[in-house]
Structure 1
């Protein structure tokens, strides 16, 4: 196993600009990782990922295990080769999706039914590692238990204990030297349990660290202290990955606390429902007032959609049910978020991150 080695190039308070090195390549942070749940970012192809400047694209172990199956993807040379994507890949364990299905959970693992055909499957920490080794991503995540929030302390405690026990089992069976394994911190919104989970996960020793179970129903003012409590105990020479978070306010707040990388489906979900992320807030492209507007989605956005297409055109596509609208909005939202990360990195290097953070929060808080 090769650790993901982190070179911290600049800091501004706790915010940091880094270069992380994996077995197969490097990436810079702060970093937003688009989500290709079933082997593709919705409405996009690998050529789009490259053009947009994505560095890492996620795949979902739960979905890929069920369709088309790890044996098939392994036969193609792994998820990146299967998708025609030459950049880095990360697979989550599928735990979040499994637990959203209300499975039967015990200390050994979880039993759940497929959303595709109702068939029954068993998932354990060992099985999660084995499937992800077949999928061949550059980074894989351990199986964790993600409790819904709010939950009673006893539920959060049980999830923390299972996550810690499963992390030990995952590390024990991980064998691919060319694939990094990240542990995951749980603990709900309890600062004490977050700190404990972080310490215990670091004691096991992983190539990087994910922080899971946040942005799942709690308020931001509950999320941030819990996040800070975990970060205090995570090593500076490994990546810090806040899982499933992508709204602009949470991104800049988490960067300010020292988070390096993020993923979220929000960018493409908003795109499919006719919304754009912009420097002036969330923009509803389908609104009637846009019908005759010959201006871009965001005048400050450098993306290809804003360079070429008007609000009036995108609104027309939405009105007539043309799928191109979802594609254009998804491209814009991903490009806009990647650009936000680039601007955050530049601001950290220049020592002006607080100014950027304040500007984003003035719109998105």
Structure 2
């Protein structure tokens, strides 16, 4: 009788201990384990992150980091970490958090426009995805990529069509570059290619001319008129004589794209650079900036007119006065020179 009681006590203790253990395991898996006040928090896990680094990222967001680690190891996540951007919802338990980190990588919006160099583009993109600017520049300038795809150092900026795109945050530099090449070919659809062919320009030449149009006029409604003017000059084999190309040539020559130049001087027109369209006929070797889509489409859909000259309109800032003849242009130019001198803009 005494032995039976002992056995009964042992069984009861075992049941209680087992129950406590089961409850502890259940709580570790299914009890809420978030400590933030917002409805949702986002975490960024690097592609090569260790579990210790994941713990560090999650530390401010979880009530019980040790229980998370226990379940992460049981579910195999600690040894199979995946990079990306992930959402953790308030009240999630460890099981749900791990499932999210394992399979719910969230795309991010990557936007860029008006970049003047590949280095600037890399810096802009690096602020939005995991790849750093150094790896991006290296990928952008890789001749093993450029040459087979008919690009070079001068034209490669034109491959990146400014817009907003969805990427996974952990996209590599090479992955970003390959995706943008696909977007470039998607942009240059049959309709745009046919329009470029009618102008007797290649897509790369269209982008180069569009970069000049973009720099010359910030007014989208004026860009087709500016594009028409430069196309008129190209057909007549006249030099484009575009001030923005001289400014770009000066920056490139000085290797300083942060240089601020508000006024082009006559001496600047003598700079010997293929980008100086006062000195060389035709288009420069590549774009002088990243033109936005409105500038590209302005070149593809130019306004038809007989203008060959234009100058800033000081009576309607942002727009220009256009002229068919040099004599008319010189009259328009007098007013602009008078205004710019009054502003005491020397450089």
Higher strand share: 1
What TM-score, normalized to structure 1? 0.21
Which structure exhibits the higher relative contact order, with contacts defined as CA atoms closer than 8 Å and separated by 6 or more residues?
1
Larger Rg: 2
Instruction: Pick the structure with more helix per residue.
Output: 2
Q: TM-score, normalised by structure 2?
A: 0.21
